[in-house]
Chain A
Amino acid sequence: MQQKMKKVKVTIQERGEPKEIEIEVPDDGQVGWGDVTQMKHIGQHIPRLDGVAKVTGKAKYTYDINLPGLLYGKILRSAHPRARVVKIDASKAMARPGVKAVLLPDDVKGLFNKECRYAGQEVAAVAATSPDIAEDALALIDVQYEKLPFVVDVDDAMKPDAAQVYGDRKNVSDPRVREQGDVAAGFATADVVVEATYRCQVQTHVALETHGTVARWDGDKLTVWASTQGVFSVRDELAKYFNLPATQVRVITEYMGGGFGAKFGARPEGIIAALLAKKAGAPVKLMLSRKEEHLTTGNRPSSIQQVKIGAKKDGTLVAYQRSNYGTGGVAGGAGIPAGPYIYAVPNFRVEQRDVSTNAGAQAAQRAPGHPQASFGMESVMDELAEKLGIDPLELRKKNDPNKTRQKEYDIAAQKIGWERRNKTPGAGSGTKKRGMGIGSCTWGGGGSGTKAQVTINNDGSVEVKCGTQDIGTGTKTIIAIITAEEFGLSPQDIQVRIGDTDFPPSGGSGGSTTAASVSPAIKSTTMLAKQKLFEVVAPKLGAQPADLVARDGKVFVKSDPSKSVAWKQATAQLADGPITIQGEWVAGYSDTGVAGTQFVEVEVDTETGHVQMLKVVAVHDCGLVIDRLTAESQVNGGVLMGVGYALYEDRILDSPTGHMVNANLEDYKVVGAMEVPEIEAIFYDEPHRGVIGLGEPPVIPTAGAIANAIYNACGARVRELPITPDKVLTALAQTQRKEG
């Protein structure tokens, strides 16, 4: 009999970017998680199992790895935004006592740069017996640069006479165009048209733990501790670089302090650490500084969106046009989702152009492209609602084809009290004014491709091994929860081991794919292991394996619970030794495609331009929630990153010199405790869909919603992020001039 197949969409990582593909899987006609109301752990608020280890410092991150004879690596970086290395002399550095290895551009092909295209690009590296000596040694390397013309400002880079970042091509790429319907005809039927330009800044990732690697060679075997989102991608990249079989490279990431999309491969600093270790014949730790982190490890590209939107009097959208220019520095990839973000418009044309600048390359950052697109779209929708005289919520409901979001709008509106909001933006007396705004999002969040191994020992102890890694989302905890649910144990009873390429492989943690990749693998593997156990236990209980249930620390007969045996007694009967089962991701336990909406309330001081976040109601669907507490944490973290994007964070490059002026955490401002609003995370539960990732969606709609709330509060439209007091005051002054 031929097996029935079905097509499912999954999100994969392709060159660090999430990409949705369709695959065929066996169709067994049902989804396997069963009745969620009967679940003991899944869907509950369960504190992460390694939380105590993390806050007490017991958890060892890459930074904490210390090995006998460890050396410290540092990288010499280009002092100029565009320059050619004419001469480099490291003799003084090599002579410095304590310096054990120096790597220069000619020593290694394709890693260092003699043609430097941004300030901070890798030029050379050293390893020494202490970080201070390594830093001294960098200063002793004598580099002669030939300085070349450069451009760091995106507007300057688009001018015809701008310095060219790459000699053989223009700074502005040819447009990538996507069209649907007839946009000119669409606008011809519009009763109301709004045109505006929206700008988003460059945001850096600011993971708490900087990028870095500890590398150790044992003969031809390389062991690496890396702060990475993908142990297997790091392994494969290192194996390829050093021409080693994959079996000779081991990558370990037991704990890591955030990645947000910038920590997929080995990256230059990882390869440099391994090269230095090889040359010095000793293990090398190479952790980047905060400044290096801002300059070189990736960022969210900027966006300049020239938008035009048209609607009928009743609010029905008829046409949309957008030209987006974004810079990913020396890299491309500044695109945003190609189309009107989340709303249905029959006629549209969008153009995307990447602009090269002499700045560090972009990297995937938490929902690449989406926050930019959402900010532009949600802002113009608000401006359109104003011009049409329609409630911004009603305009959204009218044009949003997503059924889930339609329900989420009502939940969010009720929770925040949408009816309380200023009916006339800026209305009211006093200098502190409150307002509300809306933003929404879409994402994939599906998974695939994970293997796992479950061992049930004779003493009842359970170990799960999976070569995934926890980038901070609570992966270890959800593995324990799923295993405990299946075996009728407590999450604390499960020994979970992750973050090691010696374990069964899993993919990179990006694109919100981890939960939907790992959970089905754990579910299917634990089911197989349980089946094995039941086969041993069933005869002793006088039942068939299919009649058994594992629950509350016991294995019993479903129809007669008095026929039972404690878990440990059951496992003691494993005459052939422990059960060890390898399993893998199967379809039916996960899904892809989520919708969310966020309503925010802010207070604006109209005399100082200060914006105080008051409340965020975040309604998201993510299918079956495994751990409600870690899911809420994802929403909190995403919202806060969105608040930083909306109000504070900005990578600022100085045009005359090409250097970043705020490569620190003083002037590059991430949110602190006082910037945190009340955040209410609400999940639109759809357990029948299985597990769907949630890491990215909550960051997406925050900035647009905040910009709209600021407008609703004070009547000033700020079309450029971050919305700092100077911009609020400028917009207010323009509004007053218009009125006056």
Chain B
Amino acid sequence: MQSFAYVNATSVDKVASLLGRTWDEAQVIAGGTDLVGELKEHLISPKRVVNLKTIPGLSYIRQDAVALRIGALTTIADIESNPIVQKQFAALSQAAMVIASPQIRNVGTIGGNICQRPRCWYYRSEDFPCLKKGGDRCYAVAGINRYHAIFGGGPSYIVHPSDSAPALMALNGRVKIMTSTGPKEVGMDDFFTLPETSVRRENILKPNEIITEIILPNPTPNAKSLYLKVRERQSIDFALVSVAAMLTVVNGVCQEARIVLGGVAPIPWRTPDAETFLRGKKISEAVANSAAEAALEGAKPMRDNAYKVTIAKALVRRAVMALG
């Protein structure tokens, strides 16, 4: 990797001044499980790497009357083992449990997990100067696209790799961002960006901004959530397809639904048609099937990834039945 200056940040307020106006100027490091790989493969060559771990007070899980607040530096392992998360925010704890491996969960942070860069093999290898690296094409189009997008693709066909992000979106989460002019909050639904708007980035963060907190509204009574993930290798693997869902069901009738697919699009993929369909329906096998069909309506498989549609339908069906 190329040499760089290493700077320890000491407070959220001062971070913006350490970061740069461009990504080439500075990148942040927390757990480092994503960034180090990018540096070693020469995908990025920042002049400065800013260590966030030295900022005190950014690792916590606290609940108040309205919400659960998770500091951006909280490790995945801490989230996975937190009893409140396990009990009230099952989708998140279940997602945390299937992220990477125990070693990575011990150092990887929740902020890093939702901001992680794509795992697309064309992006991850320096042999391919792809769109995401400022090149002229998405190699997945003519290449091997079995792990690529069936929704929201073009001009790049990456999938968002995060397990926690679909869960946070299903749980109606918000992120707190420190900008150069002060803190702001944005819903998970508005945090991620499709390649058609920003082909080189996957979210709205500017080079001099960081996430400081995740906010999850306390679940309403009768709301239940889960996370299901299908991967080739159980020991450690990114999702082929995952689903995060939160359903509010009263007397067998669905009042509210949020269903988010992972591994199928460049961003965690909300399924509004399925959600709308479910509202007011009594949950049954047939309703679950129809919800699955609605969720996958409009999928555009590439040459090698039509199987993702089959898996996604199965997961939506299972999620609805399990929460119904």
**A residues apposed to B, CB below 8 Å:** 79, 119, 132, 431, 607-610, 612, 647-648, 652, 654-657, 659, 661-664, 666-667, 669, 671-675, 724-726, 729-730, 733
Smallest CB gap from A732: residue in B = B310
Contacts of B3 in A (CB 8 A): 132
Cross-chain contact A655 with B143 (CB below 8 angstroms): yes
Given contacts A431-B314, A608-B311, 10 further A-B contacts (CB under 8 A): A119-B127, A607-B318, A608-B230, A652-B144, A659-B127, A662-B121, A669-B232, A724-B232, A725-B311, A729-B310
A-B contact pairs, 11 of them (CB 8 A): A607-B311, A609-B307, A609-B311, A648-B232, A654-B139, A657-B128, A661-B144, A664-B124, A674-B233, A725-B240, A726-B305
B81 in the interface, Cβ–Cβ < 8 Å?
A: no
For chain B, residues 82 to 102, give those with C-beta under 8 angstroms from any C-beta of chain A.
101
Contacts of B124 in A (CB 8 A): 664, 666
Contacts of A656 in B (CB 8 A): 139, 142-143
CA distance A78 to B189 in the complex (A): 45
Contacts of B297 in A (CB 8 A): none
Cross-chain contact A725 with B232 (CB below 8 angstroms): yes
Cross-chain contact A725 with B139 (CB below 8 angstroms): no
In the A-B complex, the 4 residue pairs with the closest CB atoms: A672-B235, A607-B314, A674-B234, A726-B307
CA distance A730 to B234 in the complex (A): 21
CA distance A125 to B122 in the complex (A): 27
CA distance A656 to B140 in the complex (A): 10
B146 in the interface, Cβ–Cβ < 8 Å?
A: yes
Contacts of B13 in A (CB 8 A): none
CA distance A666 to B236 in the complex (A): 8
Q: A648-B233, A672-B235, A674-B233 are in contact. Are A661 and B143 (CB under 8 A)?
A: yes
Contacting residue for A675 out of B142, B146, B235, CB 8 A: B235
Contacting residue for B146 out of A79, A610, A672, A726, CB 8 A: A726
Q: How far is the CB of A429 from chain B (nearest CB, A)?
A: 14
CA distance A674 to B98 in the complex (A): 12
Contacts of B143 in A (CB 8 A): 654-657, 661
Cross-chain contact A729 with B307 (CB below 8 angstroms): yes
CA distance A256 to B127 in the complex (A): 31
Chain B contact residues (Cβ within 8 angstroms of A): what range? 20 to 34
Cross-chain contact B310 with A675 (CB below 8 angstroms): no
CA distance A664 to B41 in the complex (A): 11
For chain B, residues 226 to 241, give those with C-beta under 8 angstroms from any C-beta of chain A.
230, 232-237, 240
Contacts of B122 in A (CB 8 A): 654, 661
Smallest CB gap from B121: residue in A = A661
CA distance A318 to B315 in the complex (A): 47
CA distance A655 to B122 in the complex (A): 13
B11 in the interface, Cβ–Cβ < 8 Å?
A: no
Q: How far is the CB of B67 from chain A (nearest CB, A)?
A: 34
Smallest CB gap from B238: residue in A = A666
Smallest CB gap from A661: residue in B = B121
Q: A648-B232, A654-B143, A669-B237 are in contact. Are A661 and B304 (CB under 8 A)?
A: no
CA distance A686 to B122 in the complex (A): 52
B198 in the interface, Cβ–Cβ < 8 Å?
A: no
Cross-chain contact B235 with A725 (CB below 8 angstroms): no
Cross-chain contact B304 with A726 (CB below 8 angstroms): yes
Contacts of B234 in A (CB 8 A): 612, 672, 674-675
Cross-chain contact B310 with A607 (CB below 8 angstroms): yes
Q: How far is the CB of B283 from chain A (nearest CB, A)?
A: 18
B125 in the interface, Cβ–Cβ < 8 Å?
A: yes
For chain B, residues 182 to 218, give those with C-beta under 8 angstroms from any C-beta of chain A.
none
CA distance A652 to B304 in the complex (A): 13
Contacting residue for B311 out of A661, A674, A729, A730, CB 8 A: A729
Contacts of B315 in A (CB 8 A): 608
Contacts of B230 in A (CB 8 A): 608, 610, 725
B119 in the interface, Cβ–Cβ < 8 Å?
A: yes
Contacting residue for A671 out of B1, B101, B146, B235, CB 8 A: B235
Smallest CB gap from A289: residue in B = B40
**B residues apposed to A, CB below 8 Å:** 1, 3, 101, 119, 121-122, 124-125, 127-128, 139, 142-144, 146, 230, 232-237, 240, 304-305, 307, 310-311, 314-315, 318
Contacts of B119 in A (CB 8 A): 666
Smallest CB gap from B141: residue in A = A656
Contacts of A725 in B (CB 8 A): 230, 232, 240, 307, 311
CA distance A42 to B232 in the complex (A): 41
Q: How far is the CB of B314 from chain A (nearest CB, A)?
A: 4
Smallest CB gap from B1: residue in A = A132
Q: A607-B314, A729-B307 are in contact. Are A661 and B125 (CB under 8 A)?
A: yes
CA distance A656 to B240 in the complex (A): 24
Q: How far is the CB of A123 from chain B (nearest CB, A)?
A: 15
CA distance A39 to B232 in the complex (A): 46
Q: How far is the CB of B114 from chain A (nearest CB, A)?
A: 19
Contacts of A729 in B (CB 8 A): 307, 310-311
Q: A654-B139, A659-B128, A726-B146 are in contact. Are A672 and B311 (CB under 8 A)?
A: no
CA distance A667 to B161 in the complex (A): 13
Task: Identify the interface centre among B139, B233, B240, B314: most chain A CB within 10 Å of its CB.
Answer: B233
CA distance A664 to B122 in the complex (A): 12
Cross-chain contact A657 with B121 (CB below 8 angstroms): no
Contacts of B128 in A (CB 8 A): 654, 657, 659
Smallest CB gap from A669: residue in B = B233
Smallest CB gap from B3: residue in A = A132
Contacts of B101 in A (CB 8 A): 672
CA distance A733 to B310 in the complex (A): 10
Q: How far is the CB of A647 from chain B (nearest CB, A)?
A: 8
Contacting residue for A730 out of B235, B237, B307, B318, CB 8 A: B307
Smallest CB gap from A655: residue in B = B143
Smallest CB gap from B142: residue in A = A656
Smallest CB gap from A656: residue in B = B142
Cross-chain contact A675 with B144 (CB below 8 angstroms): no
Contacts of B121 in A (CB 8 A): 661-662, 667
Contacts of A669 in B (CB 8 A): 232-233, 237
Task: Identify the interface centre among A612, A662, A663, A729: most chain B CB within 10 Å of its CB.
Answer: A729
Smallest CB gap from B137: residue in A = A656
Q: A661-B143, A661-B144 are in contact. Are A671 and B233 (CB under 8 A)?
A: yes
Task: Identify the interface centre among A609, A654, A669: most chain B CB within 10 Å of its CB.
Answer: A654
Q: How far is the CB of A491 from chain B (nearest CB, A)?
A: 34
Task: Identify the interface centre among A431, A656, A661: most chain B CB within 10 Å of its CB.
Answer: A661
Q: How far is the CB of B139 from chain A (nearest CB, A)?
A: 7
Contacts of B314 in A (CB 8 A): 431, 607-608
CA distance A397 to B165 in the complex (A): 54
Smallest CB gap from B318: residue in A = A607
Contacts of B127 in A (CB 8 A): 79, 119, 657, 659
CA distance A648 to B237 in the complex (A): 11
Q: How far is the CB of A124 from chain B (nearest CB, A)?
A: 18
Cross-chain contact A657 with B139 (CB below 8 angstroms): yes
CA distance A655 to B303 in the complex (A): 14
Contacts of A730 in B (CB 8 A): 307
Q: How far is the CB of A265 from chain B (nearest CB, A)?
A: 28
Q: How far is the CB of B277 from chain A (nearest CB, A)?
A: 20
Q: How far is the CB of A658 from chain B (nearest CB, A)?
A: 9
CA distance A346 to B64 in the complex (A): 80
CA distance A662 to B127 in the complex (A): 11
Contacts of A673 in B (CB 8 A): 235
Smallest CB gap from A654: residue in B = B143
Cross-chain contact B307 with A672 (CB below 8 angstroms): no
CA distance A662 to B235 in the complex (A): 18
CA distance A726 to B318 in the complex (A): 19
Task: Identify the interface centre among A608, A647, A673, A730: most chain B CB within 10 Å of its CB.
Answer: A608
CA distance A612 to B234 in the complex (A): 9
Q: A607-B311, A725-B230, A726-B146 are in contact. Are A659 and B125 (CB under 8 A)?
A: yes
Task: Identify the interface centre among B128, B305, B307: most chain A CB within 10 Å of its CB.
Answer: B307
Contacts of A664 in B (CB 8 A): 124
Cross-chain contact B236 with A672 (CB below 8 angstroms): yes
Contacts of B139 in A (CB 8 A): 654, 656-657
Q: How far is the CB of B101 from chain A (nearest CB, A)?
A: 8
